[in-house]
Amino acid sequence: MKNRISALLLGTALAFATAGLALAQDKTVKIGALSDQSGLYSDLGGPGSTLAAQMAVEDSGLLAKGWKIDVISGDHQNKPDIGSTIARQWFDVDKVDIIVDVPNSGVALAVNNVVKEKNGVYINSGAATSDLTNAQCTPNTVHWTYDTYMLAHSTGQALVKSGGDTWFFLTADYAFGAALERDTTAVITANGGKVLGSVKHPLNTSDFSSFLLQAQSSKAKIIGLANAGGDTTNSIKQAAEFGIVSGGQKLAALLLFLTDVKALGLDVAQGLNFTETFYWDMNDQTRTFAKRFGERSKNHAMPSMVQAGVYAGLRHYFKALEALGGNPHDGVKVVEKMKSIPTEDDLFGKGEIQPNGRAIHPAYLFEVKKPSESKGPWDFYKLVATVPADQAFTPLSESKCALLKK
């Protein structure tokens, strides 16, 4: 009995000692890249995001300074329940400090709650919903790359101002589609336009002809595609087939990724306007990064903006850890530090993380090149306009984030 008590005491003492040590100078970090590894979003995030995370670790220089940083990856299969189960297990069993990427807004919002509950860090790059830094913001979350507000304002505004004042939406029937339609509708009505109707289609639909016919008969000038990935490429391809563009209606691909343009081919995609915050061929720094990325990625693909966001977000996270002098394993503390340091990196340029967790940087309105203008296998975009960082995202005065009401 006596032995057992002393053993217990010794154990407790040891536990406290190591915990104290951890607070002071623990230099271990475990990163979980949670993504769609095999479904419709796996090309724009997926294994490429894991690669981006590894590159961020290597480029941070922390390994040489004695840090031990691991990257693990998981497949959420676009299912919120699976995503949150993996996140929970990562925090409880695998002692993960930070979750990155997480495309699919439905999964992203589910994981958002888990990260807050476990006091981890969450740098979301893949998901679009602006709710992550609005109604559902948490002190543990940084939303890096883009969101529905930014897409709606940049692409939506540009199209309404150039005369596209009547709209019809093809909307993916889940959190992301609803958010994108809502945010774009707000922009359209604010600029004097009108939404004539919308149709909600299930995620991962292969045939859009019924929906396109409804859009066609609405006589709207703009058909807004509030969907993503394979759903967007299929709707664009089939819209061409049904003579929608040649009939005088215009397509607005509100969210289009580099990989989607690649999949469509320039023949079909040419002339589309859309917004991204990163394109590999912007300047020397992005080209250098893209070249290094392409040497290691599957099929030598160039990085998508989501993958670039994983890289840049993690680099900023490492800066915060270095400033803290170690990993405190305390999500709120690390994110606070991240918000206090201005962001600056090769891929997204200068910016900051706002108090609601929104990372802001410039957004770019692009147009897809004609096949004759393209000089290489990944030469797809020409820049139309740049939206400055402070105008691209939700103004803090309009944000409903509870963190702002302190």
Partner 1 sequence: MQALYAQLLVGLINGSFYALLSLGLAVIFGMLNIINFAHGALYMMGAFCAYFLLNIAGINYWWALLIAPIVVGIFGMILERTMLQWLSGLDHVYGLLLTFGIALIIQGIFQNYFGSSGLPYQIPDALRGGINLGFMFLPIYRGWVVVFSLVICLATWFLIEKTQLGAYLRAATENPTLVRAFGINVPRMITLTYGLGVGLAALAGVLSAPINQVRPLMGADLIIVVFAVVVIGGMGSIMGSIITGFALGVIEGLTKYFYPEASNTVVFVLMVLVLLVKPTGLTGRAA
Residues at the site binding partner 1, with contacts judged by CB under 8 A = 38-44, 46, 173, 199-202, 204-207, 209-211, 213-214, 216-217, 229-230, 233-234, 237-238, 241-243, 247, 259-260, 262-265, 267-268, 298-299, 301
In this structure, what token pair is assigned to residue 400? 């409903």
How many whole angstroms separate alpha carbon 78 and alpha carbon 61? Answer: 33
Strand partners, 86: none
CB 276 within 8 A of CB 302: no
Nearer to partner 1, 264 or 360 (CB): 264
Distant-in-sequence, close-in-space partners of 127: CB < 8 Å, separation ≥ 6: 102, 103, 104, 105, 107, 108, 109, 143, 176
Phi, psi of 355 (to 5 degrees): -55, -25
CB of 38 vs partner 1, minimal distance in Å: 6
> Nearest approach, Cβ of 35 to partner 1 (angstroms)?
12
Nearer to partner 1, 242 or 337 (CB): 242
Q: How far is the CB of 237 from partner 1 (least distance, A)?
A: 7
Residue (207 or 373) nearer to partner 1, CB: 207
3-state secondary structure of 205: coil
Minimum distance of partner 1 from residue 75's CB (angstroms)? 12
Reduced DSSP (H G I as helix, E B as strand, rest coil) percent helix, strand, coil of the chain, to 5: 50, 20, 35
Shortest CB 253 distance to partner 1, Å = 14
Q: What token pair was written down for 231?
A: 């759903």
105 or 232: CB nearest partner 1: 232
The minimum distance between CB 42 and partner 1, in angstroms, equals 5
b/e map 29-47, b = 16+ CB within 10 Å: bbbbbbbbbebbbbbbbbb
**Which of residues 44 and 363 has its CB atom nearest to partner 1 in the complex?**
44
Please, what is the minimum distance in Å from the beta carbon of residue 127 to partner 1? 17
The residue among 113 and 204 lying less far from partner 1, judged by its C-beta, is: 204
Rounded to the nearest whole angstrom, what is the least distance from the CB of residue 6 to partner 1 in the complex? 55
Pick 148 or 171: Cβ nearer partner 1: 171
Residue 160, helix vs strand vs coil? helix
User: Exposed (0-12), middle (13-18) or buried (19+): which is 159, by Cβ within 10 Å?
Assistant: buried
Angle at CA of residue 343, ends 66 and 346, nearest 5°: 80
**What are the φ and ψ backbone dihedral angles of 354, each rounded to 5 degrees?**
-75, 165
DSSP labels for 212-272? HHHHHHTT-SEEEEE--HHHHHHHHHHHHHTTTTTTT-EEEESS--HHHHHHH-HHHHTT-
As to burial, measured by CB atoms within 10 angstroms (0-12 exposed, 13-18 middle, 19+ buried), residue 12 is: exposed
Residue (43 or 346) nearer to partner 1, CB: 43
Query: Whose Cβ is closer to partner 1: residue 165's or residue 173's?
Result: 173
| Residue with Cβ nearer partner 1 (68 or 298) | 298
Of 210 and 285, CB closest to partner 1 = 210
Q: How far is the CB of 222 from partner 1 (least distance, A)?
A: 18
How many Cα atoms occupy the beta-carbon half-sphere of 383 within 13 Å?
Answer: 13
Distances 11 to 15, 21, 377 between C-alpha atoms, Å: 6, 15, 61
Q: Which three-class secondary structure state does DSSP give residue 23?
A: helix
Q: How far is the CB of 201 from partner 1 (least distance, A)?
A: 6
Q: What are phi and psi of 141, to 5 degrees?
A: -110, 135
